[in-house]
Structure 1
């Protein structure tokens, strides 16, 4: 990580020394000397970063380099903050410059002194570099060439990212676990899967849990991640939310404030008459089981509990009481290990003959641990297959790291090896992820915005900074350092997670290298100088200290009872002149402190799900702001001063008026913006802008959108029919648009899109909410379209004929979008469709699926179409259908699916793993699994 700090500093020094900055005599030369010394040391730092754990003296030297780089960066930033002002042109500008130079003479002398002091310090550190250079025999030129080459991801396609690693060795344990789950009597039984970290316990159990036969066998399902520092209250709340969400019932009022005993009673009552399966993943102590076991009723319904744990005694204790089963998960066999190794290293191809022997030697050191194999394979997959010496070098390091009997420790070292192999610009990005809590699913787009705000992402010609950052994220996926947790409908990862063992490593390294400081309790030890501070509870000590004077990022994350605003104001006013990131997500903040608007270097301001009601005019002072996140706040309007933010790239704001199952017209609210919004030329994401039809500015905003030529995502609400021509004209100018959401001003207001002729070629998601007099003629030409949502369109003509040839359409939602009696999916149509949702089609009486239509459909949902009395004709042709869901449909249709009657409709749906029937009973949603 010293390597990262040095390269980050060198990137800052270059433009600084090239610019015409007024420096006192000797300062420029001193800074050039500092640059030269760091450049000489940088060639050795990659090797030093990797070896410091095994060499205490080297570790001290690396820390000295890192601290010196940080301190030099701080001096540069202070200079830019205090001295680099613009004075204007002409004689007046000259006088202001003379006056300013005289006024700041003392500050410049102080900075000059600090520069000279750092120069002496860096030279002394450099002497130590020479000793280690001789010791390890590193050739500077060769090492540096490997470090700075950052073109690795340019020739990697998305295929590697979307490709799932082939699972091996789970067939037999999966079969056994499923047998224990669905057989073995009506009593409650606990099943424990036990084994060391990295054996794939969670992966195995998740495959069993998600199996169609298991989903169909049980009425209720819950997956709870326990982890080492579990909280009983949070565990119970999570269980209750999952159970009620599954049957689409609102969580009982007051759950958030209930006592533990009341939560236990609520969960127990819910499960009394249900056949349930509950997974407790990653149980670290018996207390977790003791705290939760009485919640689970033995109701003689054949319910099951599954636990994963690393400890044998926990597994046996949990199973003894229910006469359950313990499954000892074993390492992969040599054959299975080789299969997994080749799948990941060579993408399923055969191992080249010249690499087979070294591959087998490397694989032997992994000792059958799937996680270790996957991670090491991820490293090898990036190596040149013609350079066997690189593979040999990795083997030599790995051999030393994996020796010994402590398998968990060996695993961590194997994972650390993949971290050490990262380029310097990825190391800090990866360590930065340690700010997120254990087991949290991280949103990819949020991480990309934070990385760019922190200055971690290098500019590359021909790419936006976000595209480069996405390349960084892709590489972390490709190296198996992070795992996909959730995907968009088109298969792209939307959320990711980090294996808990890997997270232990990066949390430790981030703390040690002063990347992130987390305060979890009063009196927590803090480093000498805090650069990024994370506060997670009301009781955290946020009082100002000199150690916070170089603070770059502050995260205050809820939920909290209250916010210590006075302490935060002190922190802002004293220590945050250099702050780049400020995030208050989910805290009870209701007013943005005025001190925030003095943070002139702020690039990211996160207020998501706070109680903030207004953005003051002072927002205009944050001229470097790139992301303003107002999602879930009560802000309804932005001041004109927002137009001063010429570097703003992401403006995010919408509010859901109610957390309901079904989307109703008017449930989402946007934000009113100044009529000259088009002057924000850097905007890439604008969600969600609301047209103010009460003023002349509304028309102006629709026209102004055409000036935002960098836009990639646009959501606009409150449109009238007469806005259509202007809107189409604006959309035609947005050639970079990927996602477009348009919502009319009221349910029966027509969206006029007929004049749209030049369609953005990259558009892949389209959401139209409002009446369509005619089906938009441009939609069939959207060959890149992946998801289409039509709501309240009220079309009279069947839209399917216009959509069936779209080559990439994966998701289609028709909600009050069609008023006809029937829909026919003709043979050969919708070849890529996976998700089809038909909601509130009040006139719909029949649906027909011809053989050869929708061959890849996985999910079919029909809701609130009461005139339908038969299951879709031809549903038996949908051989890949996994879920068929009916909600508030006619009694006649539902009766035809009765298992006891087993008429033709029932037989035609027998191949579908999950058939769910939703209905209302006493104003509550109920679900029936067939």
Structure 2
């Protein structure tokens, strides 16, 4: 994996030579020599990656090349930092200062010259030892680079789409529905990679299961679990679905008190709790007393790789379900579907494919992984496929299946191009239980330098294609999607993570400080601190490029880089302090001149210093959900900033959400012409000038505006016409009675996918009808006199539509064949609405319907029975007349919703939820019985 740092260094050397930096005489020649030698090594390194694990001598040579690349990169960056530092201190115009500045820069040039000569000498020695004896040549190093676009949208790829899952899914469902009042435990036991979690998730997500078990939660345990964190997670999930915020005291509760809270929440309800990835018997022993045996038919599902854990958890009541390997027929079906995109295997490849499949041993994850590696290969060249089989076949025969699988998955890793290897290795930095945010990951990759520019694409778009390719190769899984179908979070499968983490450690890619007694490398370049800073070993050599912290529990709120390491952090590119117990902006940060990514998300930081202008390389500044409300005027001097994210929510009660709060800035924001994301900027002061400034930000992909006034509409429209790259636009008026005047947009941004408008509309903006890519529309406080459906019903990609106080008419008519791709519809406080008509063929794909606080709607929507794909209907604070008609026992219109798995009627009463189930069970479930709703609250409450 030395190819990655070598490739990044070659790009940096090219830039250094092109910029004609005034180096010492002869240093440029040395740099060209180093560059030439590394380019010759690069061809070898590409193939050596696949052989590295087999030969320790080759492994050692690769390690030395990697260290040379790192050291050369450090020398260049240290030189640049010294020049910047001396320039800032030498800006005084006096002759004396100029002489001192010239002398200091000359000293810096001499130092880098000496360092580069030393590196050149060491590289020449390594070059003499070039491993030609391995038969590695440029021809064999060629690698296919075609993308997997032919496999379709990666975001639709589900690991759950595996053959052979229907039978075990039915068997497990039968165990859940068994007429047994005791709290049974179902332990799914089997080797890693068999799909235990996938199977459990398929059962857990089944609408029939959700209907039977009103209270349900999924807890990822992991190998290094902490009991109190596990219990807090469970408490939080229970309160979330109940529809109430968890008490603040939960964060300080000890395990005994947390168990008591959980037991009280579950005591009176039938529940389903899943404990995923349990490694130790004491996990069940620690948790079981919080899960009451309340004689209501409750169930606990548990997944584990260890037989003793499964047997122990089921010792009293329950059953061990042993997940088997795929049969030969099932394995072949899965292999062909993943390798040949659903087509049959070409006859000339059948024998070699059977040989490859045999090595997978019926392990689904291994089959999916090797299929991803083979999917891009030339299907006409049988020798290439035979070479894949030969490269690991002999070594895998007769070995333990776990080792077999690891070697298969290692091949999948080795088949990746160098830019994807670094991206995948980077995921080892995140904790094993962590759902990784899509955009956070992309911005981190870019800051690390992993993303190679492509003509016609932004770096973010290239990084997104990397992510999709990893998904297509089944090396990542989608955890959560947005309502318009985009990926929100992802993670690695456990076993892929094991292999990637091992490679990361062996190659000194990253150091994970999650235990106090781990073995640390000699030099630390990327550091991930998990849980506590006490795990950091201070007697190590730090050459930090990246520092990320996760779930810190340290009581010390005064974070300092010196607390991490006394030296070796000047070259930091990434500083991610999200969720840290941080109250003030760390003073040392402004001296990290090379910093590209800075996150203070979910901290208590209140202000940003003017000296932030020093961070001239900064590309991402993430202050979401911090206490920052105003940015200094100097922020506009950050010319490379691409993502400026500053907003937070404030919740008055669970029934009422304030709008997002953004930030104020009095500087000419138009200077920041690299900005792609700007949200949320408050424009109530000096707003017209600010609207004009926004028009200069032609690279914007996402724009969020708060506190807009009517008189500034024309200026904003003029600016929006210049934002041809805009994907998301959010505008909120200064109050709900203020008119948003955005009608005069003659050339709207045609790539727009998301539109949020909160404020009065005198008429519906006509230009919205032309937005063929629009996927999500939220309208709030519009109070239109004309039917808004007419203007939205033909949008071909609209998936999510929500209205709050949008229409003053008394009828909404959804016509046949309209809203063809709508998945989510939410209607809130349409006070005059008396009837809804849904013609057959309207909204054919609708899955979720929310109707709330429409007090005049007393009739069940006519035609709701035609919505055959509906998974849930939620009524909030709706008239009793309508609800009575839907009750399962005697409701005249109950037949209209019998096909819908989940139907709720919910009221907010005296600070709590009063929930009625309108399905065939007809149960009344109150807040006091700790009912949790299966779906989130309407998002309009938060927009």
SS of equivalent to 2:187 = strand
Partner of 1:671: 663
* Partners of 2:288 and 2:681 in 1: CA distance: 49
The answer to whether the aligner puts 1:261 opposite 2:256 as a matched pair is: yes
The answer to whether the aligner puts 1:608 opposite 2:608 as a matched pair is: no
Structure-2 change in CA distance of 1:456 and 1:890 (3 Å) = same
Aligned-residue offset at 1:351: 1.5
SS of equivalent to 1:261 = helix
Aligned-residue offset at 1:640: 0.9
1:308-352 alpha-carbon deviations (Å, 9 max, x no partner) = 111222222222201x22211111111111111111111111222
Partner of 1:343: 337
Partner of 1:823: 812
Aligned-residue offset at 1:354: 2.0
The answer to whether the aligner puts 1:112 opposite 2:113 as a matched pair is: yes
Aligned-residue offset at 1:436: 0.7
Question: Is this contact kept in 2: 1:43–1:143, CA < 8 A?
Answer: no
Partner of 2:219: 224
The answer to whether the aligner puts 1:909 opposite 2:910 as a matched pair is: no
1:689 pairs, out of 673, 681, 684, with: 681
Aligned-residue offset at 1:904: 3.2
Aligned-residue offset at 1:206: 0.6
Question: Is this contact kept in 1: 2:546–2:573, CA < 8 A?
Answer: yes
* Partners of 2:669 and 2:337 in 1: CA distance: 50
* Partners of 2:190 and 2:214 in 1: CA distance: 29
Question: Is this contact kept in 2: 1:42–1:144, CA < 8 A?
Answer: no
* Partners of 2:665 and 2:513 in 1: CA distance: 37
Question: Is this contact kept in 1: 2:760–2:782, CA < 8 A?
Answer: yes
Aligned-residue offset at 1:675: 4.0
Unpaired runs of at least 5, structure 1:
none
Structure-2 change in CA distance of 1:659 and 1:243 (3 Å) = farther
The answer to whether the aligner puts 1:520 opposite 2:514 as a matched pair is: yes
Question: Is this contact kept in 2: 1:573–1:595, CA < 8 A?
Answer: no
Aligned-residue offset at 1:587: 1.2
1:847 pairs, out of 816, 832, 836, with: 836
1:358-397 to structure 2, matched below 5 A, reads 358-397=352-391
Structure-2 change in CA distance of 1:472 and 1:78 (3 Å) = same
Question: Is this contact kept in 1: 2:687–2:712, CA < 8 A?
Answer: no
Partner of 2:229: 234
Question: Is this contact kept in 1: 2:173–2:203, CA < 8 A?
Answer: yes
Aligned-residue offset at 1:893: 1.7
Structure-2 change in CA distance of 1:72 and 1:762 (3 Å) = same
1:492 pairs, out of 478, 482, 486, with: 486
Structure-2 change in CA distance of 1:887 and 1:161 (3 Å) = closer
Partner of 2:132: 133
Figure out how many residues of one structure are paired with residues of the other and give that number.
Answer: 912
* Partners of 2:518 and 2:310 in 1: CA distance: 34
The answer to whether the aligner puts 1:733 opposite 2:725 as a matched pair is: no
Aligned-residue offset at 1:99: 6.5
1:106-150 alpha-carbon deviations (Å, 9 max, x no partner) = 433332222222112112212222xx322x2122x214543xx75
* Partners of 1:59 and 1:591 in 2: CA distance: 45
Partner of 2:69: 69
Structure-2 change in CA distance of 1:522 and 1:330 (3 Å) = closer
Question: Is this contact kept in 2: 1:520–1:540, CA < 8 A?
Answer: no
Partner of 1:447: 441
Question: Is this contact kept in 1: 2:559–2:582, CA < 8 A?
Answer: no
Aligned-residue offset at 1:102: 3.6
Partner of 1:918: 906
* Partners of 1:144 and 1:191 in 2: CA distance: 49
Aligned-residue offset at 1:523: 5.8
The answer to whether the aligner puts 1:650 opposite 2:643 as a matched pair is: yes
1:458 pairs, out of 445, 449, 452, with: 452
Aligned-residue offset at 1:63: 1.0
SS of equivalent to 1:214 = helix
Partner of 1:41: 41
The answer to whether the aligner puts 1:295 opposite 2:310 as a matched pair is: no
1:503 pairs, out of 497, 501, 515, with: 497
Structure number with greater CO (CA < 8 Å, separation at least 6) is 2
* Partners of 1:253 and 1:589 in 2: CA distance: 18
1:577-632 alpha-carbon deviations (Å, 9 max, x no partner) = 21111111111212113221111111111110111111111011111111111101
Partner of 2:880: 891
Structure-2 change in CA distance of 1:41 and 1:94 (3 Å) = farther
Aligned-residue offset at 1:538: 4.2
SS of equivalent to 2:479 = strand
Task: Tell me the TM-score normalised to structure 2 length.
Answer: 0.93
Question: Is this contact kept in 2: 1:3–1:45, CA < 8 A?
Answer: yes
Aligned-residue offset at 1:393: 1.3
Structure-2 change in CA distance of 1:462 and 1:579 (3 Å) = same
The answer to whether the aligner puts 1:832 opposite 2:824 as a matched pair is: no
Partner of 2:580: 587
1:188 pairs, out of 179, 183, 189, with: 183
Aligned-residue offset at 1:533: 1.8
The answer to whether the aligner puts 1:532 opposite 2:551 as a matched pair is: no
The answer to whether the aligner puts 1:617 opposite 2:610 as a matched pair is: yes
1:166-219 alpha-carbon deviations (Å, 9 max, x no partner) = 321011111111111112322221111111011111111111111111111112
1:461-503 alpha-carbon deviations (Å, 9 max, x no partner) = 2211111111111111111110111112222212111011111
Partner of 1:4: 4
Question: Is this contact kept in 1: 2:655–2:908, CA < 8 A?
Answer: no
Question: Is this contact kept in 2: 1:401–1:413, CA < 8 A?
Answer: no
Aligned-residue offset at 1:819: 2.1
* Partners of 2:95 and 2:211 in 1: CA distance: 80
Structure-2 change in CA distance of 1:636 and 1:287 (3 Å) = same
Partner of 1:22: 22
Unpaired runs of at least 5, structure 2:
920-943
- Greater shift in the superposed pair: 886-895 or 874-883: 886-895
SS of equivalent to 1:862 = strand
SS of equivalent to 2:541 = helix
SS of equivalent to 2:358 = helix
* Partners of 1:110 and 1:799 in 2: CA distance: 69
- Greater shift in the superposed pair: 401-410 or 879-888: 401-410
Structure-2 change in CA distance of 1:566 and 1:805 (3 Å) = closer
1:483 pairs, out of 477, 482, 489, with: 477
Aligned-residue offset at 1:449: 0.6
SS of equivalent to 2:548 = strand
Question: Is this contact kept in 2: 1:543–1:568, CA < 8 A?
Answer: no
* Partners of 1:232 and 1:533 in 2: CA distance: 25
Task: Tell me the TM-score normalised to structure 1 length.
Answer: 0.94
Partner of 2:173: 178
Structure-2 change in CA distance of 1:546 and 1:223 (3 Å) = closer
SS of equivalent to 2:757 = strand
Question: Is this contact kept in 1: 2:778–2:801, CA < 8 A?
Answer: yes
SS of equivalent to 1:349 = coil
* Partners of 1:421 and 1:127 in 2: CA distance: 28
Structure-2 change in CA distance of 1:432 and 1:401 (3 Å) = farther
1:684-735 alpha-carbon deviations (Å, 9 max, x no partner) = 0001111133xxx222111111110000000000001111111111111111
* Partners of 2:431 and 2:559 in 1: CA distance: 26
SS of equivalent to 1:43 = helix
Structure-2 change in CA distance of 1:478 and 1:93 (3 Å) = farther
1:226-257 alpha-carbon deviations (Å, 9 max, x no partner) = 11112221121111211221121221341111
Structure-2 change in CA distance of 1:599 and 1:156 (3 Å) = farther
